[in-house]
Amino acid sequence: MKNREILLVKRPDGAPANEHFSIKETAIPELSEGEVLTRLLYVSVDPYMRGRMNEGKSYIEPFQLNEPIEGGAIAEVIQSQADGFQEGDIVTGSLPWREYTSVNAGSVRKIDPALGPITTSLHVLGMTGLTAYFGLMDIGQPQEGETVVVSGAAGAVGSTVVQLATIVGARVVGIAGSDEKVQLLQQLGADAVINYRTEDVSTALAEACPDGVDVYFDNVGGEISDAIYPLLNKFARIVQCGAISSYNKKNDQGPRIQQYLIKSSALIKGFTVGDYRERYPEGFQHLSKWLQEGKLTYEETITEGFENILQAFFDLFTGENVGKQLVKINEPSHKE
């Protein structure tokens, strides 16, 4: 059996590209007591990974040069020396971009296929779903009839936020970058959708939000967010989830926002989903209930092949994905 892994070999100074990575053949690892040998099935590519490619302190350690990239993944156990795990188990956890990996069984969790297709553990019943749930419900606290604006609205986090805001009875305005995404958001229940690539965002927002903005769930930062601040209502809440428009930039300056926050007595709060680790069971419970009731759905863009992981990651920054971007590496040996 051959094994391959993807290493970071150079830190990007702008958009990530093939020259920053290397795909290398490597040996199949030996198994020690307490470990499982896994075969990669799906990889999640995520915008936050770009931040880990930079040097320096953040909320999470940077990737090391000449070491494999790692992130959310689904794998199948093909050998086990750990109690409670056996061949054929499907697990999820943070795994290296390597086809076969031995990991401590304590660092992965078994996926319960009864909850839904296994890929949901990488989005709506996983990291991006929990991000949407806690960011919106805990920080945004939307009330029935309020106006919620969501940027990056057709992505993994954004498309879940749009639906959750609809569930609580808010008026939802989504912002996304293609007509296909506009259509999807309309189907998901958004009351108005703006294509920021073809429309003037300030003009379109003024039309879409005649009563102002009560909650802004920000996935993108930059000029799109600059257009929101003047519309904030009294006691508005800004959920600062992401700022993908600046991840590939060294300097990103914009209008000062303090005056808007003061005028509206608005709250702006950044967060990472890990802040809510203790409350994950609550998030899972609500998300899976809404999923089972058909109130929540999800969209996936699935690229195939280990050698295409990097391109799928690069494509996040040009918006090729609709919903959650995943890469399928292998079929499970036993059908779901």
Ligand X SMILES: NC(=O)c1ccc[n+]([C@@H]2O[C@H](COP(=O)([O-])OP(=O)(O)OC[C@H]3O[C@@H](n4cnc5c(N)ncnc54)[C@H](OP(=O)(O)O)[C@@H]3O)[C@@H](O)[C@H]2O)c1
Question: What is the contact surface with ligand X in residues (CB under 6 A)?
Answer: 46-48, 128, 131, 152, 154-158, 176-178, 181, 219-220, 222, 224, 241-245, 271-273, 316-317, 319, 321, 324-325
Are 160 and 128 spatial neighbours (Cβ–Cβ below 8 Å)? Answer: yes
Rounded CA separation 129/126 (Å):
5
Distances (CA, A) of 189 to 130, 172, 180, 306: 20, 8, 15, 35
Give the bridge partners for 240, in sequence order.
218, 270
Task: Compare residues 47 and 142 and give the one whose CB is closer to ligand X.
Answer: 47
Q: How far is the CB of 48 from ligand X (least distance, A)?
A: 5
Rounded CA separation 19/152 (Å):
28
If DSSP codes are grouped into helix, strand and coil, which group holds residue 138?
Answer: helix
Distances (CA, A) of 161 to 24, 142, 324: 38, 11, 13
Q: How far is the CB of 103 from ligand X (least distance, A)?
A: 23
Q: How far is the CB of 130 from ligand X (least distance, A)?
A: 8
Rounded CA separation 185/290 (Å):
18
Distances (CA, A) of 294 to 123, 155, 161, 279: 16, 19, 15, 23
Q: How far is the CB of 141 from ligand X (least distance, A)?
A: 17
Q: How far is the CB of 86 from ligand X (least distance, A)?
A: 32
Q: How far is the CB of 36 from ligand X (least distance, A)?
A: 27
> Which residues are CB-contacts of 35 (< 8 A; sequence separation ≥ 6)?
81, 82, 102, 103, 104, 105
Q: How far is the CB of 324 from ligand X (least distance, A)?
A: 6
Return the residue nearest ligand X (CB atom). Answer: 155
Q: How far is the CB of 270 from ligand X (least distance, A)?
A: 7
Task: Compare residues 189 and 222 and give the one whose CB is closer to ligand X.
Answer: 222
* Exposure b/e, 106-144, CB count within 10 A at least 16 = b: eebeebeeeebebbbbbbbbbbbbbbbbbbbbebbebee
Task: Compare residues 37 and 326 and give the one whose CB is closer to ligand X.
Answer: 326
Rounded CA separation 127/112 (Å):
16
